[in-house]
Amino acid sequence: MESKKPVDRRMQIIEAAGKSFAMFGYKATTMELVSKIAGVGKGTIYTFFATKEDLFGEIIRQLAGELRSLAERMIDRERNFFANLAAVLHELLLFREKHELMVKLSQEIRDIGTPMAKDGIAKLEQAIQGFIQHEVELAVKKGELRDSVDPALTAFIMLKLYVAIGVEWSKSHPLTREEIADYFTNLLSSGVAAR
């Protein structure tokens, strides 16, 4: 006789909420809707999460963890800093473009400016920046970057620059992954000053 695995209600609720936020956005998702998708009573949700904001925060924390894991998998310590950075940022950009929740939150921000959606995307960007900052600090220690760089500011600029080239510029001037990586790497490693 087979024994049934116990159901992890908390995870069931988180998965259902993730689906709901991805389909309907933050604003349109209700605890009632999450309970229907999860197949549990609303009271069960409140056993684990006091508010919709708490539930959303847990989903964002898990998504930030996924982004960090993805970035860590892309690092090859045999490559130089800039090659690693371009590879990581490319994969994170692809993830951002394809992950349904991130797409929906971006649409919601653009269309109605929901503060919690803005906050969620900001937390994800902070997680990415934190990862880049750590890599910048390692590159400084290895002598790949100057001692004078501010790791936090540099990480911020690197992320914004890559997104600007890979998303905004590429809308009207299509570039391949290699072209983006080359321009990004050359601009950051050599600068724009004539030598």
Average pLDDT per consecutive 10 residues, the chain (195 residues; last block may be shorter) = 71 96 95 96 95 97 94 94 92 88 92 95 94 95 92 94 88 89 88 64
Q: Which residue has the tokens 């919601």?
A: 108
CB of 31 within 8 A of CB of 14?
A: no
User: Does residue 169 form part of some domain?
Assistant: yes
pTM value is 0.85
Res 31: pLDDT: 96
HSE-CB at 5 with a 13 A cutoff on CA atoms is 3
CB of 133 within 8 A of CB of 118?
A: no
The tokens describing 121, both together, are 């995307």
User: Does residue 4 form part of some domain?
Assistant: no
CB of 46 within 8 A of CB of 82?
A: no
As for how many domains the chain has, the answer is 1
Domain coverage including residue 63: 9-190
User: Does residue 181 form part of some domain?
Assistant: yes
User: Does residue 163 form part of some domain?
Assistant: yes
Cα–Cα distance for residue pair 175/173, rounded to 1 Å: 6
Distances (CA, A) of 84 to 30, 113, 136, 140: 40, 34, 11, 14
Residue 182 phi, psi dihedral angles, 5° rounding: -65, -50
User: Does residue 1 form part of some domain?
Assistant: no
CB count within 10 Å of CB 12 equals: 17
Res 96: pLDDT: 84
Res 7: pLDDT: 74
Looking up residue 181, the CATH number of its domain turns out to be 1.10.357.10
What does the chain come to in residues? 195
User: Does residue 133 form part of some domain?
Assistant: yes
